Amino acid sequence: MKKQTAMNRDWIATARTLSEALPYLQRYTGAIVVIKFGGHAMGDDAEMESFARDVVLMRQVGVNPVIVHGGGPMINEMLARLGVQSHFVNGKRVTDAATVEVVEMVLSGRVNKRIVQAINDQGGRAVGLSGKDAGLMTCVQTNPDLGFVGTPTEVNPAVLRQLFEAGMIPVVAPLGAGGKGETFNVNGDTAAGAIAAALKADRLLLLTDVAGVKDAGGEVVTELTPDHIRTLTEQGVIAGGMIPKTETALSAIEGGVRAVVILDGRAPNACLLELFTDHGAGSLIRTPRT
């Protein structure tokens, strides 16, 4: 009897959660949400499955998700396996002609199709592509010293909108084309930010291996403005690997994205918590509401 009572409580709690999600489900119907998927979750089968299920649920309730992924560890693994030597300038890998071939093979092949398959296994309809497809992302060379590393200069999201209309979930590898047909490797966060801005997305979710942006006391700040971000950066509170993520957030907001969230992709159902509950997850960045 006690066991039955406990189970009934669980069922009631689940039903209450679904009921409380209704305003958020209504709020995000038809919304575009760009998700940068990377970090630890990409290399864990169980977490990949959980992420894929969450993405399919989003699409099922009317959200238009776009997944932009990274793949650094997989690239490093393949370069080592193939014996391709890497060179570094100021701590950054030089992407020469041999390296960019491996980068494209890993990102557009192994990594992209693994995510596509995971989503399809959960009942979704995912389509893999890269920024080179249908003129999605045009780039210029970021720094000649770094080789084939690109910065997006133009994003044409028409193909993504067509996939939305067909009920598909786009999964984008962060590669772009140069003016002469070159292939450029693009930082995953940067690519996600540029795509989100071109789509005027409602949300850009940057999944990381940390809980969010932290203050001087080490506590996660749940909501910030661009000015707050700049102040924390000037004070040295935002430092290291968080700087490029917050810079991506600021650029995306300036480009027309309504809000950016930096959140821990290792947390169970992080995207659903952020979108469909009162609690949210991570650090939300947006301009002050008027």
Residue 41 pLDDT:
66
Confirm or deny that 255 is annotated as ligand binding: no
User: What distances in angstroms separate CA 2 from CA 5, 6, 14, 138, 251, one per listed residue?
Assistant: 5, 6, 19, 62, 54
Residue 2 pLDDT:
47
pLDDT confidence band for 290 (50 / 70 / 90):
very low
Residue 259 pLDDT:
94
Average pLDDT, integer, range 195-221: 91
Residue 6 pLDDT:
54
Confirm or deny that 93 is annotated as ligand binding: yes
Pairing of strands 150-155, 137-141: antiparallel
Residue 282 pLDDT:
85
Residue 73 pLDDT:
85
Confirm or deny that 185 is annotated as ligand binding: yes
pLDDT confidence band for 7 (50 / 70 / 90):
low
How far is Cα 257 from Cα 112, in angstroms, rounded to an integer? 25
Query: Which residues lie closer than 8 Å to 242 by C-beta, 6 or more apart?
Result: 210, 213, 262
Residue 5 pLDDT:
54
Residue 166 pLDDT:
95
Query: Which residues lie closer than 8 Å to 219 by C-beta, 6 or more apart?
Result: none
Domains of the chain: 29-285 (3.40.1160.10)
Residue 150 pLDDT:
95
Average pLDDT, integer, range 92-106: 90
Helix (H, G, I), strand (E, B) or coil at 192: helix
How far is Cα 290 from Cα 288, in angstroms, rounded to an integer? 6
Active site residues: 36, 39, 72, 189, 245
Instruction: Please choose, from the candidates 102, 70, 71, the residue with its C-alpha nearest in 3D space to the C-alpha of residue 86.
Output: 102
In the predicted model, is pLDDT for residue 269 greater than 50? yes
CB 196 within 8 A of CB 182: no
Residue 281 pLDDT:
76
Lowest mean pLDDT among 90-94, 172-176, 233-237: 90-94
Structure tokens at 195: 């795509």
Q: What region does 212 belong to: left with phi over 0, alpha with psi -120 to 50, or beta?
A: left
Give the tens place of pLDDT for each residue, 23-73: 777 778 899 999 999 876 677 788 899 999 999 999 999 999 999 998 888
Site of tokens 């700087």:
243
- Residue 275: CA count within 13 A, CB half-sphere: 28
Residue 78 pLDDT:
92
Give the tens place of pLDDT for each residue, 240-259: 888 889 999 999 999 999 99
Residue 72 pLDDT:
83
Percent of the chain topping pLDDT 90 = 61
pLDDT confidence band for 274 (50 / 70 / 90):
confident
